[in-house]
A and B are shown apart, each in its own frame.
Chain A
C-alpha cells in the first residue's frame, strides 16, 4: 500500500488553505459569540417540574429590568438564562420573581447552577487566554526545533517547528470557524472551556505532526530514498494507520463523553473532536506536503 500523497501536494495545501480562508472569513463576518467568561454577565440554570415557555420567562425577566436576557432550553425540564452581571441582591430578586410567577405546589423551581462574572474577571480571563496561547505556541516551536536539531538537511530544523505551528494554526482556525458557524446558527457561545480546548488542540495537533516528522527524520537518516519527496511519502504511508487509529480511539472516547456525559461539557468536547480530526488531517495533508514544497523552493 503506497498512497502518493506528495504527488498532489499543491492540491492538499490548496484545500487546507481554502478551509483556513473560509474560517477566517467566517470569523470576520459572523465572529465568535463570546460567553459570559469574556464579556461578564450571569448564567442561571433552572429546572422546573413544568417548564414554562421561553417567551413567558423572557417577559418576566424584562419585568425585572433584565436587558436582553437569552433563554435556552436544556435537557427535559431545564432552562439556561444568560443576562447581565447581577449582584447577589439582584440575583435573589430575579430568582424570587421567577419563583413567584412560575413556582408553586405543582411546579418546583430549582436553581441548579448560577454563575456571575464581573468585568474585572472577564478582562483577566481575556488577557490570560491570549498570553497562554502565545506562550504555548512559542514553547512548542522551541521544543520542535530542539527535537529536530540533528536533522538540518535538506531542510533547516527550525522549519519543522514552523510547519508544526502552521499546522497548528490551521487546526485552531478551523475549530474557530466551526464555532463561528455554531455561534451564528445554534447560539453556541465560546467560553473559557473553549480556550482550554484550543490550547489542548494545539498540543494534540503538534503531537500528531511530530509523529509524522519523526518518521520522516528516521527515513532521512536511513536514506530510504534519494528523493526528498519520496522519502516523505514513505514516511506518510508508514504513519498513516497510526494517525487514523489514534484519532479514531480518541474520537471514540470523546464521542462517549459527548453522548453520555453531562450537557455542561458538551461544547468543550465538540471543540476537541473537531480539533482532533483536523489535527490528524493537517499532519498528513498540510505539514508534510508543505515540507516538500519548501524543499523544492530551496533548490
Chain B
C-alpha cells in the first residue's frame, strides 16, 4: 500500500492537471450541446468581432415524448382471422405501410412512428403522432377506406311501373310510333324531307332548318352516324331509327373528310426546369445526350422497350407511351407539327417542347368521315321519364378494387393536372364494356360517395386507362392518387387503445417537471454542503457536471424525453448522490482512524467501489427488465434511469476523485472541520 501511495503522489501530478483540463473541456462541450442557442450567440459575437466564419451549431431541442409535446399514441389490432399463418406478418406489414402513407401524406405528420408488434397470436400496429391537434380526424383518416366507384346513368326506375303508369307509357309511345309512321309513309310517297321535318319533328333546334343537323361525327348522335356510315348520299331511312331520345327518320345530305387523326407513342425525357418535371433525373444537356443515344439505337420494333426503360412521363412506362388517337389541336404545337407530318411506323427526330425532349413513334393515321344529315325526331318516353330513378347514377361494378395504379399526369393540351388510372385485367374489360355502352353519355367517377368527375365518353376505351380531371391543384391530385394507391387496407383493423395528450397539458407537464428537477437539485446541493462540508461542495461541482453530461448524452443519443423519463432522471440525481455519500462516509471513517487526508481519500474510493458497483448493478437489472417490458411510459423511465446510473458511476469515480485529488493537497494532512464537521482533538 505504501508503494502505491508513493506512486500516486509523485507521478500523477501532471497527469492530474491534464485530467482536470479534460474534465473542464468535457463540461464546456456538454454545455454547448445542451444550450446551443447560447453557444451560437457566442459564436456570432466572435464572428462579428474577429471576422472569421465559425459555423453555427444546429439548434435542435430535446426529443420530447408525446406526453410533453402533445400528440396521440394509437394501438390497432389487425384482424387476421381469415388469413393463412404464413401471410399474416406480410399483410400486417402492408397495413403498416398504408397507415404510414396516410399519416404522412394525408395528415402531413412529419415524423410519425408506425410499427408493428406481435403479442402471442395478435398482430398490432402502433401509431404515434406527435403534435397532432385533431386526433379524431387522424383516427378517421387512418381507418378509412377510400371508395372509388365508376357509375353510369341510372335507367332502372325506382320500382316496377304500376298498370296505369305502364299504360301511360305505352299510350305515349304508341302515339309517337303512329306519328313517325305517318311521316314515313308520306316520305315514301315522295313528300319533301324538309317540309316533313318542319311539320313533324320535335327537335326544336333542327326543325327550323328543315331537320338539318349539320355535319356530325361518331361522338355526337352515334346511332345516326352508324346509319349514315353505311348509306349513300340522298338516301333516307326506311324504318324509324331509335336513338336515346326517340324515333328518327334520317336523310343523308352530304359527306366530307373530317380532321386527320393520328395514333402514336412517345418517349419523353424531362429535365430540371422543364414544365411538369417533378423528379428530374437529368440536366438539360444530359437529357439531350440521353435522347441522342436512344435515337441512334432505337427502331420501331424495339421502341416500346426504350419507352419502358427511359420515359419520364408519369405513368408513361406502364402505358408504353401510348397516346391513343388524337386530332389537331390536342397536343402542343411543336409535337403536333412533327407527328402529323411523319410517315407511319417511323420514329421522329428529337422534338423539343416545354415538357422536355420527345421521340415519337407514329403508329397509324386515319381520316374520319363526317356526314351532313337531316332528321325528323319524334320523342318517346322511357320508364325513367314516367318514374324517375331514386338514384341518378348506378353502379357498374368497376371500383377501386380493380385499380392497378393511380398517377398524376398533366393534360398536354391544357396543362390541367389530372389523375390517371390504370386498371387490372378485369377492370380493363369492365371499363371497355362501360365506355362501349355509354358512348356520348356521361360516366361518373365517385370518390367516397361524392362525384368528383363526370366525363362524357367519347369512344370505347380498350386500353384499361382512364383519367380523372376535376379542377385539382397539384396537392389535391397528389393526395387523391396517394389515397387511391393506398386503396383498401389489406387487413381490417380495430383501434384498441388510444392515448392522447393535449399540447398545452404537455407544455405544462414539461415546465412543472423541469421546475421540480431544479428544486430537487437545489435541495440536494444544500444537504450535501451542509452535511459534508468541503467534500459536499466538491460533490456539488461533480453533480453539476453530472447533470450537464446526462443531458448532453440524452441529446446526442436521441433519448426521447417523456414525463416518466424526467422522473427517472430526477431519481437518478438521488442515485448519483448516493455514490458520493458512500465515499464520503468512508472518508470520515478513514479520517477518524487517523489516516492522512490523501490516504483516507484514496482508501475511501477503493473501498466504496464494490458497494457502489453491486448496488447499481441491481438497479440496472431492474431497468433492463423494464426496458424489455415495453414501450411508452416504462421505457422512458428505465432508459433515463439506467443512463443516469451509468453516468453517475463515472462522475463519482472519475470526476469527484479527480477534483478531490486536485483540491486536497491544498489542506493540511489531517482531517479538520472542513471535512469532518468538527475539530479533531
> Contact between B523 and A253 (Cβ–Cβ < 8 Å)?
yes
* Interface flags, B517-542, vs A, CB<8A=1, else 0: 10111011001100100000000000
Closest A residue to B567 by beta carbon equals A265
Task: Tell me how far the C-beta of B643 lies from the nearest C-beta in chain A, rounded to whole angstroms.
Answer: 15
Chain B interface (Cβ within 8 Å of chain A)?
Answer: 67, 75, 77, 119, 122, 135-136, 139-140, 494-502, 504-505, 508-509, 512-513, 515-517, 519-521, 523-524, 527-528, 531, 563-564, 566-567, 570-571, 573-575, 577-578, 581-582, 585, 589, 607, 610-611, 614-626, 628-630, 633-634, 637-638, 641
Contact B614 A210 (CB under 8 A): yes
For chain A residues 32-61, which have a beta carbon within 8 Å of chain B? 45
Given known A208-B615, A254-B571, A264-B563, contact A203–B623 (CB-CB < 8 A): yes
Using a CB-CB cutoff of 8 Å, which residues 104-153 of chain A contact chain B? Answer: 110-121, 124, 128-129, 132, 135-136, 139-140, 143-144, 147
Given contacts A128-B630, A132-B625, A242-B582, 19 further A-B contacts (CB under 8 A): A87-B495, A114-B499, A118-B496, A120-B77, A121-B75, A139-B624, A143-B617, A207-B618, A210-B611, A210-B614, A210-B615, A210-B618, A238-B585, A245-B585, A246-B574, A250-B571, A253-B521, A256-B517, A261-B515
| Residues of B close to A252: CB separation below 8 A | 520, 523-524, 527, 574
The minimal Cβ–Cβ distance linking A10 to chain B, given in whole angstroms, is: 28
A139-B531 in contact given A112-B502, A132-B629, A256-B519 (Cβ < 8 Å): no
Give min CB distance, B592 to chain A, whole Å: 11
* Residues on B with beta carbons closer than 8 Å to the beta carbon of A248: 527
**Bound CA–CA A110/B119 (angstroms):** 35
Complex alpha-carbon distance, A87 and B504, angstroms: 24
Q: Is the CB of B524 within 8 A of A143?
A: no
Is A11 positioned at the interface, with any CB of B under 8 Å from its CB?
no
- Given A215-B611, A253-B574, A118-B77 contact (CB < 8 Å): yes
The segment from A16-24, A175-183, A191-199, A289-297 that touches chain B is A191-199
* A115 contact from B500, B573, B620, Cβ within 8 A: B500
Kindly report which residue of chain A lies nearest to residue B628, judged by CB atoms.
Answer: A132
Q: Is A112 in contact with B498, judged by CB distance below 8 angstroms?
A: no
A207 touches B496 (CB 8 A): no
Which one of A117, A132, A200, A208 has the highest number of Cβ atoms from chain B below 10 Å of its Cβ?
A: A200
Q: Given contacts A199-B625, A261-B567, is CB(A211)–CB(B618) below 8 Å?
A: no
Contact B626 A196 (CB under 8 A): yes
Residue pair A253, B571 in contact (C-beta under 8 Å): yes
Give chain B residues whose Cβ lies under 8 Å from the Cβ of A250: 571, 574-575, 577-578
B585 neighbours in A (Cβ, 8 Å)? 238-239, 241-242, 245
Q: List 20 A-B contacts (CB under 8 A).
A: A45-B505, A111-B502, A113-B502, A128-B630, A129-B629, A192-B633, A193-B633, A200-B571, A207-B615, A207-B616, A211-B614, A242-B582, A245-B585, A246-B581, A246-B582, A252-B520, A253-B521, A260-B512, A260-B516, A269-B567
Check if B625 sits within 8 Å of A136, measured CB to CB.
yes
Chain A interface mostly: helix
Which residues of B lie under 8 Å from residue A220 when comparing CB positions? none
Task: Say yes or no for A65: interface residue by CB 8 A criterion.
Answer: no
The residues of A with any CB-CB pair to B shorter than 8 Å are 45, 87-88, 91-92, 110-121, 124, 128-129, 132, 135-136, 139-140, 143-144, 147, 192-193, 196, 199-200, 202-204, 206-208, 210-211, 214-215, 218, 238-239, 241-242, 245-246, 248-250, 252-257, 259-262, 264-265, 268-269, 272
Q: Give B122 Cβ to nearest chain A Cβ, in Å.
A: 6
Is A88 in contact with B140, judged by CB distance below 8 angstroms? Answer: yes
Out of A119, A143, A255, A256, which one reaches B621, CB within 8 Å?
A143
Residue numbers in A under 8 Å from B638 (CB-CB): 196
Known: A132-B629, A210-B611, A248-B527. A253 touches B570 (CB 8 A): yes
Which 10 pairs, one residue from A and one from B, show the smallest C-beta to C-beta distance? A203-B622, A250-B574, A118-B496, A256-B520, A253-B520, A207-B615, A261-B516, A260-B516, A252-B523, A203-B619
Taking each of A87, A128, A211, A259, which has the highest tally of chain B beta carbons within 10 Å of its own beta carbon? Answer: A211
**Residue in B closest to A272 when the chains form the complex, CB atoms:** B571
Given known A242-B585, A248-B527, contact A203–B500 (CB-CB < 8 A): no
What residue in chain A is nearest B618 (Cβ atoms)? A206
B172 to chain A, nearest CB (A): 50
Given the contacts A200-B622, A210-B618, A257 and B570 also touching, CB distance less than 8 Å: yes
Look across to chain B and name the residue whose beta carbon is closest to the beta carbon of A112: B505
Q: How many A-B residue pairs have CB under 8 A?
A: 212
Given contacts A245-B585, A253-B524, contact A264 B621 (CB under 8 A): no
CB of A265 within 8 A of CB of B614, answer no
Q: Once the chains bind, are B517 and A112 in contact (CB under 8 Å)?
A: no
Q: Is the CB of A202 within 8 A of B498?
A: no
The residue that B564 contacts in the complex, of A92, A196, A238, A239, with Cβ under 8 A, is A196
Cα distance A115–B571 in the bound complex, in angstroms: 26
A121/B497 contact (C-beta < 8 A), A193-B633, A245-B585 known: yes
A75 and chain B: residue at smallest CB distance: B508
Cβ-defined partner of B139 (8 Å) among A88, A121, A202, A242: A88
Knowing A112-B505, A128-B630, say if A253 contacts B513 (CB, 8 Å): no
Chain A residues near B617 (CB, 8 Å)?
143, 147
Residues of B within 8 A of A262 (CB): 508-509, 512-513, 563
- Complex Cα distance, B140 from A92, in Å, reads 12
Residues of A contacting B616 in the complex (Cβ-Cβ under 8 angstroms): 207
* A257 touching B520, Cβ below 8 Å: yes
List, in ascending order, chain A residues with CB within 8 A of B528's CB: 249
User: Which residue of chain B has the shortest Cβ distance to A124 in the bound complex?
Assistant: B119
- In the bound complex, residues from chain A placing their C-beta under 8 Å from that of B122 are 120
Whether A136 lies near B527 (C-beta < 8 A) is no
Residues of A within 8 A of B527 (CB): 245, 248-249, 252
Which A residues are CB-close (under 8 A) to B77?
118, 120
Q: Which residues does chain A contribute within 8 Å of B567, judged by CB atoms?
A: 257, 261, 265, 268-269
Chain A residues, CB < 8 A from B521? 253
Most chain-B Cβ atoms within 10 A of its Cβ — which of A144, A203, A207, A272?
Answer: A203
Instruction: Find the B residue at minimum CB distance from A78.
Output: B505
A182 to chain B, nearest CB (A): 19
In the complex the two chains form, what is the Cα distance from A260 to B567 in whole Å? 12
B499 to chain A, nearest CB (A): 4
**Which of B523, B563, B620 sits near A256, CB closer than 8 Å?**
B523
A207 to B140, CA, bound (A): 49
Beyond A214-B610, A241-B585, A249-B577, whether A265 also contacts B563 by CB under 8 A is yes
Instruction: Tell me which residues across on chain A come within 8 A of B512, comparing CB atoms.
Output: 260-262
Kindly state the separation between the CA atoms of A124 and B379 in the bound complex, as whole angstroms. Answer: 72
Chain B residues closer than 8 Å to A143, beta-carbon distance: 617-618, 621
Query: What chain A residues lie within 8 Å of B566 (beta carbons)?
Result: 261
A92 cross-chain contacts in B, Cβ below 8 A? 136
Taking CB atoms, residues of chain B closer than 8 Å to A203 are 618-623
Please, how many angstroms separate the alpha-carbon atoms of A296 and B77 in the complex? Answer: 58
Evaluate contact between B581 and A245: CB separation under 8 angstroms. yes
Q: Within 8 Å CB of A147, what residues of B?
A: 614, 617
Question: Using Cβ atoms and an 8 Å threshold, which residues of chain B touch A254?
Answer: 520, 570-571, 574
In the bound complex, what is the Cα–Cα distance between A210 and B531 (angstroms)?
24
User: Smallest CB–CB gap between B348 and chain A, Å?
Assistant: 57
- Bound Cα distance A147, B614 (Å): 7
Closest A residue, CB atoms, query B494: A118
Chain A residue contacts of B67, Cβ below 8 A: 264
Q: Give bound CA distance, A139 to B625, whole Å.
A: 10
Complexed CA–CA distance, A241 and B610 (Å): 18
Does the CB pair B582–A211 fall under 8 Å?
Answer: yes
Name B143's closest neighbour in chain A (CB-CB).
A88
Contacts of A204 in B (CB 8 A): 619
CB distance from A208 to the nearest CB of B (A): 7
Q: Say whether A257 contacts B513, CB under 8 Å.
A: yes
Complex Cα distance, B575 from A245, in Å, reads 11
Report yes or no: A132 in contact with B502, Cβ–Cβ below 8 A.
no
Closest CB in chain B relative to A153 CB, distance in Å:
18
Docked pose: A202 CA to B527 CA in angstroms: 26
Indicate if the CB atoms of B496 and A238 lie closer than 8 Å. Answer: no
Question: B613's closest neighbor in chain A, by CB?
Answer: A147
